Amino acid sequence: MNKETQKTINNRKSESKMNKKGFTLLEILVAVAILGILVGIAIPNYLTWNARYEFKDAARNLSSNLTLSKLNAMSRNAAITLTLQANGTDTEYEMKDAGGISVIPTEIFPADVSVVGGLPVAVTFNAFGQRTSGGGGNQVINLDSVSQTNTRYVITVTVSGKVTITMNNI
């Protein structure tokens, strides 16, 4: 074989290598293994974050709906009561006027959120936006979560009707 023939054969070999496109099976397996490891690390973190978010969201929704109860009582010039109660295994709350008519649809807490201190809990606001239930001091609602064992949300309703929410580490 002469030198020109050898060069032509070598050129064809290098051209055929350059024309091959795609991934080898080994490259795909390595990529899938890396992806599996990353997903295995990410899923537990996502589940923890989601549980924390749902707990915080439930507490904020309850606080917002207490404020909405106060505003509804003032705008309707009538008493409005928000009642937290057990319904089977769920904890729910509803807002009703003095005639028993629902003001908002019933809200249900996520399964792992519970009210500390027993149910039912009723918070009533009069036409002036003042809280008329729960005695003379602040009315306190404590929310705990099964998955967030070191966190408690405390919702406080003053006699004047001010609603505050705080997060406590327990």
Q: Is the pTM of this model over 0.75?
A: yes
Number of domains in the chain: 1
The average pLDDT across 25-40 equals 95
81 pLDDT above the threshold of 90:
yes
Cβ atoms of 154 and 138 closer than 8 Å: no
Asked if residue 20 is part of any domain, the answer here is no
Give me the torsion for CA of 107, 113, 116, 121, rounded to 10°.
Answer: 10
Instruction: Identify the domain containing residue 76 by its residue range.
Output: 25-169
Determine what percent of the chain is predicted with pLDDT higher than 70.
88
Asked if residue 2 is part of any domain, the answer here is no
| Residue 155 or residue 169, greater confidence | 155
Residues 42-58 have pLDDT tens digits of: 999 999 899 999 999 99
Query: To which residue do tokens 């060069």 refer?
Result: 7
Q: Which amino acid is at 167?
A: M
Cβ atoms of 80 and 125 closer than 8 Å: yes
Residues 106-151 have pLDDT tens digits of: 999 999 999 998 899 999 999 999 999 988 899 999 999 988 888 9
Asked if residue 7 is part of any domain, the answer here is no
Tokens of 139: 């009315």
Supply the CATH number for residue 92's domain. 3.55.40.10
Asked if residue 145 is part of any domain, the answer here is yes
